[in-house]
Structure 1
Amino acid sequence: MRRVRLMAVAVAGVASAALVASAVVPASAAPIDRTSMGTRSLATVLNVANPAFDKNWADLDILTKAVATVLTVKPNSPVKKLANGRNSLTCFAPTDLAFKYFAEAATGKTIRTEANVFTGVVQYAGTLATSIGGGTTAVDVVETVLLSHCTAGTINSHAAMAAAHARATLSMFSGSQVSLRMVHGQIALYDTARQFLNARVIVVDINKGNKQIAHVINRVILPVDIDPAPYNPANCPKGLTC
């Protein structure tokens, strides 16, 4: 129950946290000068307006679909920052395979398509939302998870590596914190979900030269420590086939 309450706190605090979140990094890893940077948004790079699934597990289709879903249901969500390239931010973007690993661990099922992975993620979010109560929806939970991947400021790969060497902590838009470490030459991100593997950066500087930048990661970041597989298919959100 404590973990469910922690998720409830995380969900409830999303709106306010997104307005004040900032990166806690050493001076040597401060966000770079943004005065002459471009304003192409990450939403444009992801093509959020036209989400589609394919068979390439190395790209970002499930992330794109999750962002599009949240913005469709909650157009004023803090996630909309990704659509305004004037907002300086850094996101750690999980691959489709990262979501597959998470969905399989969460649901206890083997999942073979991106569409079914997305459905599994939403199912699991619905289960958590039901546990939290208070009118929390699956989309609220997905929103919180998405915001747990983004932080204020343009942090390129050099700054991120310096932060990882310094074992710095980032405050994410969800209000959660992520610690950076160097592990076997890679930037690793340590969240509070001890039962899931921590993410590592595998591709850097997506949208380089713009105020919004992304680094691709191989696992999903979670805002709180949660148990895998509290899955209940009866909690499939209305309007989705589960």
Structure 2
Amino acid sequence: MKHRIATAAVAALATSTVVAGAVTPASAAPAAKAGDKSLAAVLGADGTKLDKSWKDFDLTEAAVLAVLDAKPDSPVGLLTQGDQRATAFVPTDRAFRLLVKDLKGFAPKTETKTLKQVAKLGVDTIETVLLYHVVAGKTLTSPKVLAAEGKRVRTAQGGSIKVHVIEGKVTLLDADKDDRNPRVVVLDINKGNKQVAHAIDRVLRPVDL
């Protein structure tokens, strides 16, 4: 996986330019001015300590911090810039655990052990995967996501994901054709700000594994 994802992302990672999202929202009345609270601030609100809850986003936060520590100029830094519009589909900690199970054949018992396995993929691969979860330049709140049935959204990694909506339930179709696609489990994290997120129950994959 490490080699294939890294190879698929060479063009996208050759520059620090982030690709804007492709979903065009329908015209609407002017909205109130959005706030500047970044998604990084939201993810880090409970500290950086790993815990026993698989429903939050400690592993996403740890992955972002690891990338920015190794590569301060990474496009992943967009998530710390609350004055810049962005939408992120954020995997829960359980989503990373399931990713490790798919790749390694076992599910780690703790978040710490899960993080150690994810770290083995390497910083470049982790960066690529994170960017595949980000739509730059767009604040896609739940009404816009729900209205995007059948549309493709271009990600900061350079690839795209397809939005599929059935009876108000959102599924994201990634580049992996063989595994179950991620489903949105929480909408509108950080609503009211330029940067919003939607929690998903699987990690999006930028290549077909």
Question: What's the counterpart of residue 196 of structure 2?
Answer: 213
Q: Cα distance, 1:184 vs. partner?
A: 5.0
Which residue matches 2:154?
171
Match of 1:147 in 2: 131
Equivalent AA in structure 2 for residue 119 of structure 1: K
User: Contact (CA 8 Å) 2:4, 2:207: kept in 1 or not?
Assistant: no
Change in Cα spacing, 1:187 to 1:87, as seen in structure 2 (3 Å) is same
AA of the residue aligned to 1:207:
N
Secondary structure of the structure 2 residue equivalent to 1:58: coil
Counterpart pick for 1:24 among 18, 22, 25 = 22
C-alpha distance in structure 1 between counterparts of 2:81 and 2:89, whole Å: 17
How many Å apart are 1:31 and its aligned residue?
A: 9.8
Is the counterpart of residue 103 in structure 1 residue 100 in structure 2?
yes
Q: Deviations over 1:127-157 (max 9, x none)?
A: xxxxxxxxxxx10100000000000210000
Q: Which region of structure 1 is more displaced relative to structure 2, 6-15 or 175-184?
A: 6-15
Question: SS of 1:179's equivalent?
Answer: strand
Contact kept? 1:89, 1:151, Cα under 8 Å: yes
When the two chains are superposed, the root-mean-square deviation of aligned CA atoms in Å is 2.4
Tell me by how many angstroms 1:225 deviates: 1.0
Q: State percent identity of aligned pairs.
A: 38
Distance in 2 (CA, whole Å) between partners of 1:8 and 1:82 is 24
* CA gap 1:15/1:37 in 2 versus in 1, 3 angstroms: farther
The answer for unaligned runs of 5 or more in structure 1 is: 126-137, 227-242
Residue aligned with 1:19, SS: coil
How many angstroms apart in 2 are the aligned matches of 1:70 and 1:48?
19
Q: 1:142 to 1:206 in 2, by over 3 A?
A: same
Equivalent residue number for residue 53 of structure 1: 50
Residue matched to 1:134 = none
Cα distance 1:117–1:161, how it changes in 2: closer, same or farther (>3 A)? same
**Unaligned segments of structure 2, at least 5 residues:** none
1:22·1:170 contact (CA, 8 Å) conserved in 2?
Answer: no
Aligned twin of 2:146: 161
1:93 to 84, 90, 95: 90
* Map of 2:186 onto structure 1: 203
TM-score (norm 1): 0.79
In the aligned structure 2, how far is the partner of 1:213 from the partner of 1:44? Answer: 12
8 Å Cα contact 1:11/1:140 also seen in 2:
no
Indicate if the aligned counterparts of 2:5 and 2:128 stay in contact, CA closer than 8 A.
no
Q: Which has the higher helix share?
A: 1
Q: Give the number of aligned pairs.
A: 208
Instruction: Output the CA distance in 1 between the equivalents of 2:95 and 2:46.
Output: 22
Aligned partner (choices 168, 173, 183) of residue 190 of structure 1: 173
Larger Rg: 1
- Aligned to 2:188, the other structure's residue is in SS state strand
User: Which one-letter code corresponds to 2:192 in the other structure?
Assistant: G
The CA distance in 1 between the partners of 2:68 and 2:46, in whole Å, is 10
The letter of the residue matching 1:217 is I
- Whether 2:71 is the aligned partner of 1:74: answer yes
CA distance in 2, matches of 1:224, 1:31: 35
- Are residues 83 and 34 of structure 1, via their aligned partners in 2, closer, same or farther at CA, if it must alter by over 3 Å? farther
